[in-house]
Amino acid sequence: MKRKAVGVPCLSAAAAAAVLCLSSLAGAAGVAGQKRLQFGENGEFKILQVADMHYGDGKATPCEDVLPSQMAGCSDLNTTAFVHRMIQAEKPDLVVFTGDNIFGFDATDAAKSLEYAFAPAVSSSIPWAAILGNHDQESTLSREGVMKHIVTLEHTLSQVNPTGIEIDGFGNYNLEVHGVEGSGFENKSVLNLYFLDSGDYSTVPSILGYDWIKPSQQVWFQHTSKKLRRAYTSKHRKAPAPGLAYFHIPLPEFASFDSSNFTGVKQEGISSASVNSGFFATMVEAGDVKAVFTGHDHLNDFCGELSGIELCYAGGFGYHAYGKAGWARRARVVLATLEKTDKATWGPVKSIKTWKRLDDRHLTAIDGQVLWSKRTKGTRRKKQIGGA
């Protein structure tokens, strides 16, 4: 459903400066010092996905594809304000930035633009994770340089790559979300998050277009998934803990849907790689991934189920990214909820739901649906959500 976008007032110069100063404080890059992710005492874990900020040089970088009435004063600071509003409204446990965090061609200094882009997450002290898109490396840092800078920022759980193995790309890692403190799942990962670098552009002369997830990355995913499944399953628990995968460029399988079998909208083609690397089949075979979340195609925001996996776009978030005038920028929220055990304590994940919020006056929530449920797999539900 299309809704009219409403411009968000730019941050004041003082407020923006305060946010940007906070972002420049570097934290420890090592994995050992990272905060452990854990379900809250209410049995919930919430993830905010921010796709395609396309941050440039801040106030000097104008908005793209907004209504004429919104153009005056519209800049990257509108994107910053939207991130702040989403964090304040949803209070997520984790913020995930799924690539094209900066638009390299319009970012004079990549390091500074990255700090500005992630400033709202840093200043909120909420754990956050980031992966790369196809534009992040087009400024003054290489893809490796961008990822190495990201991991120095405060409160990030991002990693350059797993240690001790050779793997393509930068920003391949996984995060574990443990059960509620004091429960029997306190020291078990009940929700597994996979982050992969889907690359930028093909380097094979005979294959044009976008890059793809390589065999080395798929082998890493298979080994990681297998290890996590073994650690979780037991005599009384045969099914693996559910997993979610985040990367930037959609898989060719995203083209499998039409308006009759997805929730959301499809307003442009699926800009996947021109070859199929087989990663979707790899995830299906592993059996733990229940949903995939991407960005890249800003005018698509749908979720569709294929072979037991929901394939979801977030929709365009950033104001310097291409969009559609009158179609609001948006963000995707995912909520995982635990089930209550017979002993009235929290057990494994019961359901995974999602909705989107629009950057209008009311941060309108739309397209609520169940992505996965332990008891009724494949259930889809469409409704308005007026909150969490």
**In this structure, CATH architecture of domain 44-373:** 4-Layer Sandwich (3.60)
CA distance to 25, 204, 209, 223, per residue, from 19 (Å): 11, 42, 37, 40
- pLDDT band of residue 236 (cuts 50, 70, 90) is low
Comparison of pLDDT for 116 and 4, the residue scoring more: 116
What's the confidence (pLDDT) of residue 342?
78
What's the confidence (pLDDT) of residue 375?
72
- pLDDT band of residue 386 (cuts 50, 70, 90) is very low
Mean pLDDT, rounded, for 201-205: 96
Mean pLDDT, rounded, for 148-166: 97
Mean pLDDT, rounded, for 38-50: 97
Mean pLDDT, rounded, for 243-272: 96
Q: In the predicted model, is pLDDT for residue 1 greater than 90? A: no
* Across 186-195, 231-240, 267-276, least confident range: 231-240
What's the confidence (pLDDT) of residue 33?
56
How far is C-alpha 213 from the geometric centre of its chain's CA atoms? Answer: 17
Tokens of 286: 């592993």
Q: What is the percentage of the chain residues whose pLDDT exceeds 70?
A: 87
- pLDDT band of residue 235 (cuts 50, 70, 90) is low
Give the number of other CB atoms < 10 A from CB of residue 105. Answer: 10
What's the confidence (pLDDT) of residue 34?
67
Mean pLDDT, rounded, for 157-185: 96
Mean pLDDT, rounded, for 138-158: 97
* Length of the chain (residues): 388
In tens, the pLDDT along 55-102 reads 999 999 999 999 999 999 999 999 999 999 999 999 999 999 999 999
Residues 371 and 353: their CA atoms lie apart, in Å, by 5
- Which residue stretches of the chain are H helix? 13-23, 76-90, 110-124, 143-150, 215-232, 279-286
What's the confidence (pLDDT) of residue 343?
80
What's the confidence (pLDDT) of residue 300?
98
DSSP 244-275: EEE-SSPPGGGGG--TTS-BS-B-S-----SS
Q: Which residue has the tokens 């800009």?
A: 271
- pLDDT band of residue 306 (cuts 50, 70, 90) is very high
Q: In the predicted model, is pLDDT for residue 381 greater than 60? A: no
- pLDDT band of residue 237 (cuts 50, 70, 90) is confident
* Domain residue spans of the chain: 44-373
In tens, the pLDDT along 52-68 reads 999 999 999 999 999 99
Mean pLDDT, rounded, for 224-232: 96
Q: In the predicted model, is pLDDT for residue 191 greater than 50? A: yes
Q: What is the mean pLDDT of the chain?
A: 89
